[in-house]
Chain A
Amino acid sequence: MTELPLIGEAVAVAAHPQLAGAKIGVVTFPGTLDDRDAVRAVRLAGATPVALWHADTTLGDVDAVVIPGGFSYGDYLRAGAISRFAPLMSKIIDAANSDARLPVLGICNGFQILTESHLLPGSMIKNDHLKFMCRDQVLRVENNTTAWTGDYGVGQEITVPLKNQDGQYIADEKTLDALEAEGRVVFRYVGWNPNGSRRDIAGIANAAGNVVGLMPHPEHAVEAGFGPEDGSGTEGLGFFTSVLNKIVGDNK
């Protein structure tokens, strides 16, 4: 376990007495960029963040894992293609597939790593307009039964930042049809599809609903004044409170 070098001191949040004991791991690979943001989001949701290092060989006692965004290993090969082989990833894959169904959230590069790990189907290719795109993006919640979306309503629209170069979600038609049929499309882009993703898909889940991946960044919409200007600016916090409520519920 390593300590993340933060810029400032942590935001002081009175931990929810029931939630503070919940530990959410945040993985750092070489080239990970949004790890400190994910740590902050976990903390703002009331839980205890645990920094995980890609070379670690144990997950410790975390109750859930966030794989944050960035350009792990520079994304010089396919995005996520190298990180998928990190020692910690095999532990995460095992834990996600185990009976305990460890909740795992992959954001942006984390989503790419999850598809490379075959925890989620499909893949991401370069945006259809070929440019990096940073914008405030409206998403529609399509499924609120996953480990990470329980605090949202189905059909609810949330605004979170989107920023990526390789965000175009693709899969063969059969896979896409299956995802739709099984309700595993968790988020869709609303208004404008910013990268050419098939069927406006912004995020998906595995069959059990414990593993969720999406390209937009909920961890950048957790604090008013530092996130999107539209809406409350904190519409991404629900991801983190959702998983906490699930953890607490499971432990009751």
Chain B
Amino acid sequence: MTETSAGRTAGTATETKKFNIDTVENAARTPDVELPWAELGLKQNEFDEVVKVLGRRPTGAELAMYSVMWSEHCSYKSSKNHLRQFGDKVTDEMKKDMLVGIGENAGVTNLGDGWAVTFKIESHNSPSFVEPYQGAATGIGGIVRDIISMGARPVAVMDPLRFGAIDHPDTARVMHGAVAGIGGYGNSLGLPNIGGEMVFDSVYQGNPLVNALAVGVMRHEDIRLANASGKGNKVVLFGARTGGDGIGGASVLASESFDDTKPSKRPAVQVGDPFAEKVLIECCLELFKGSLVEGIQDLGAAGISCATSELASNGDGGMEVELTSVLLRDPTLTPGEILMSESQERMMAVVTPENIAAFEAVMDKWAVEYSWLGEVTDTGRLIITWEGEVIVDVDPRTVAHDGPVYDRPYARPEWQDAVQADVFTGSVQDAGRPSAPAELAAAITELVASPNMCSKSWITNQYDRYVGGNTAMAFPDDAGVVRVDEETGLGVALATDANGRYTYLDPYHGAQLALAEAYRNVATSGAVPMAVSDCLNFGSPEDPDVMWQLAEAIRGLSDACMVLGIPVTGGNVSLYNQTGTTPIHPSPVVAVLGKFDDVARRTPSGWKEDGQAIYLLGTTAAELDGSEWSNMRGHLGGLPPKVDLAAERELGEILINASRDGMVDSAHDLSEGGLAAALVESSLRYGVGARIALQDVLDRDGVDLFTALFSETQGRAIVAVPRSEEIRFKDMCTARGFAHLRIGVVDAEGGTLEINGVETMNLDALREAHEATLPKYFG
């Protein structure tokens, strides 16, 4: 460690190579030089726009910056016009607890008692297909740095995952790598992994979805924003050194260099160092505690290009930076490469001159390397020099915020009607629908052993859920719950959900269903839903069909947020998720955050106490289209379950009140796999069974037993009510006019799940079926 200790290297730049530097002066003098804008991903109109903005051709370094910052990933150019709805469809009531909204590294929500919480979900899909371990690991690393940037201590992570078909030979490669990467990085940071999702579907074969969520907490006064203000304040880069990893298409910039002995092009996938990140977390928290930074920004996509332009653009002046001061892992990097590098575990901060010594002391204590790059100015320009020669001279807003915005054409796909007309009931795949007691028992066992419904413990046992000592609930319960304040028990609950099949059938309602399920999961745990973060995973926006799916999903999601009264505080859009020309199912992954006044009131999903009454809340319709059952039978068509947000809200309030007032000891939401899946999961949670009779449900709702068990009608949950609370609980449901039926009792003795009309199922056998699937495929 001593060789790299900050004291020795601080401020001393790596020896600079001689490049043929393309200065601003040179650019103005040589307007006709050919630039590799197309190779860097810019379109002709975008390059023309750069020239117009600058009033001259860009330098190589400027071109590098604009190309990465105007990329779809950084600029949201295809989705921006639609994303506005998340900001527009917000009432004052929804804003009252929002301390920081969309646009910053992550949104911040007020928890009361001076506490605030920040959370965000992001994608790391493409890198996780190319190099699953590092792709998934750096996905965790990136989202955690977003949380630190807000001034928060990260306290938990979650990971919604979608892979190709479970039996495809390549799925094991991606799955093993991604799970090991999430574990390897997250476990080393000391962040409990408290939940997530796992879905297998061949639409994700060449394009898995590896999303990562992080949540952090802070005191109100510790909230930090990414802006560079105050003339004369110093700009510092700290953390890992800048290397050649994560440079997309940078080889074209070799034209900047005389030197043809450069190392071969580095992989575009970044490589993570969780130890460096852990040290960075503690080091940043110490900086915040001492109020030693004025503004801070993590380095993620587009690296220094993004950090300098965003800090300067959000600030009140400009910024001047000397690029040769950047500490490098590879001294042959060109200015353009340094600007574009996505090397991990780096942060940029703005520090007042008075705090420099204190800042350096913190860096030295944690042995974190740093270098002072420049300072904040009042010119309104972002100026980057190379050995004093100006290579970038731009208005930072034009780089960071005023990129191109597209109104991409979109239209309802021609095939949509045919898909929606192709219902499951009566289809070829529906032949031989189970009805006899033995058939139904076999169907339930098959369901809970199926790839999407089986136990995820093979994955979750590879993640540390205990570290921090504040995890009050984690997988497989409906939501992850973390305590924030040990004194009062104040805490947060988080759930993420998405159903690509529902959204494929109907993007508007499919996105709403994702929100409804995450909302229901949080309420089921007993927490009051407060805020939303979303990761919109879609195909190519240049395909009008996909663009329609995206537009509809955003419209649906933003409308539903209004009805449920919870705002979107941040998120991420991931486009071009497709294999060849075949897009993935539109997959808006929605995370909902809820609040507990005391996490001791949380409600787990499993039964414990013998004799407690089991109630089914909500009514059941025949809704099998897009269901897990139809998926198991190879069918996808029709319309997804109906959305009833008013009912979701009512159900949520019942579950929250019941939890707070001790009226239920267990609650589990009904979603994929319907009542059948929920009954088995609640039984297996603690190995305590039940005796269930559904005749009253069949009579009331006019459905058959198979439908009652496998339909995926929304707005439902099952709860276990102590005998002493039954009257109070029923009265509450009646008073609210919410459908509720007693469907059975908890049976702690039998070791079975008995459902009238279904052959009795032994819990040990169910557990074996439930838990064997992932080990069978992934060992």
Contacts and interface: CB of A to CB of B under 8 A. Distances in A.
Nearest to B281: A5
Contacts, number: 110
B285 A74 contact: no
A5 B487 contact: no
Contact of B484 (A8, A133, A161): A8
Contacts of B289: 5
A180 B217 CA distance: 47
Contacts of B365: 55
A163 B466 contact: yes
Given A8-B484, A9-B487, A34-B467, A132 B187 contact: yes
B217 A7 contact: yes
Contact of A71 (B1, B153, B188, B366): B188
Given A7-B217, A40-B469, A220-B469, A12 B487 contact: yes
Contacts of B180: 131
A219 B285 contact: no
Contacts of B490: 8
Contact of A37 (B183, B189, B460, B469): B469
Contacts of B367: 30
Contacts of B187: 71, 132, 163, 165
A33 interface: yes
B487 A7 contact: no
Contact of A74 (B155, B188, B483): B188
A12 B483 CA distance: 15
B600 A73 contact: no
Given A8-B484, A30-B366, A134 B600 contact: no
Contacts of A126: none
A220 B483 CA distance: 14
B539 interface: no
Contacts of A223: 469
A141 to B, nearest CB: 21
B279 interface: yes
Contacts of A227: 466
Contact of A161 (B1, B276, B466): B466
B190 A134 contact: no
Interface in B255-301: 273-276, 278-279, 282, 285-286, 289
A235 to B, nearest CB: 14
Interface in A114-139: 131-135
A184 interface: no
A7 B461 contact: no
Interface string B463-490: 1111111111000000000011111001
Contacts of B465: 134
A135 B466 CA distance: 9
A70 B466 contact: no
Contact of A134 (B278, B464, B686): B464
A11 interface: yes
A76 B275 CA distance: 9
B472 A226 contact: yes
A7 B466 contact: no
Contacts of A133: 461-462
Given A11-B486, A73-B1, A135 B275 contact: no
Interface in B652-681: none
A36 B469 contact: yes
A147 B466 CA distance: 26
B487 A8 contact: yes
B583 interface: no
A33 B487 CA distance: 22
B463 A8 contact: no
A174 B463 CA distance: 35
A10 B353 CA distance: 35
A119 B574 CA distance: 52
Nearest to B490: A8
Given A7-B155, A8-B483, A8-B486, A33 B279 contact: no
B190 A70 contact: yes
Contacts of B469: 36-37, 40, 219-220, 222-223, 226
B139 interface: no
Nearest to A73: B275
A60 interface: no
B472 A33 contact: no
B158 to A, nearest CB: 15
A225 interface: yes
Interface string A124-166: 0000000111110000000000000000000000000101010
B335 interface: no
A217 interface: yes
A227 B465 CA distance: 10
B462 A37 contact: no
Contact of A226 (B188, B217, B275, B483): B483
Nearest to B282: A5
Contacts of A5: 153, 282, 285-286, 289
B184 interface: yes
Residue among B190, B282, B465 with max Cβ neighbours from chain A (10 Å): B190
A7 B484 CA distance: 7
Interface in A210-252: 217, 219-220, 222-223, 225-227, 229
A135 B155 CA distance: 20
A82 B273 CA distance: 17
A159 to B, nearest CB: 12
Contacts of B275: 30-31, 71, 73-76
Contacts of B276: 74
A131 B471 CA distance: 22
B468 A7 contact: yes
Interface in B186-228: 187-190, 217
Residue among B461, B464, B471, B485 with max Cβ neighbours from chain A (10 Å): B464
Contacts of B467: 33-34, 37, 163, 220
Residue among B155, B366, B483 with max Cβ neighbours from chain A (10 Å): B483
10 closest A-B pairs by beta carbon, nearest first, are A74-B275, A33-B190, A8-B485, A8-B486, A37-B469, A9-B487, A220-B466, A71-B188, A161-B466, A11-B486
Interface of B: 1, 153, 155, 180, 183-184, 187-190, 217, 273-276, 278-279, 282, 285-286, 289, 365-367, 460-472, 483-487, 490, 599-600, 686
Interface of A: 5, 7-12, 30-31, 33-34, 36-37, 40, 55, 70-71, 73-76, 82, 131-135, 161, 163, 165, 217, 219-220, 222-223, 225-227, 229
21 contacts: A7-B153, A7-B155, A7-B484, A7-B486, A11-B487, A30-B366, A33-B278, A34-B190, A36-B469, A55-B365, A71-B188, A71-B278, A74-B188, A132-B464, A133-B461, A217-B466, A219-B469, A220-B467, A220-B469, A226-B471, A227-B466
Given A10-B486, A12-B487, 10 more contacts: A7-B468, A8-B484, A8-B485, A30-B278, A71-B274, A75-B188, A131-B462, A132-B183, A132-B464, A226-B483
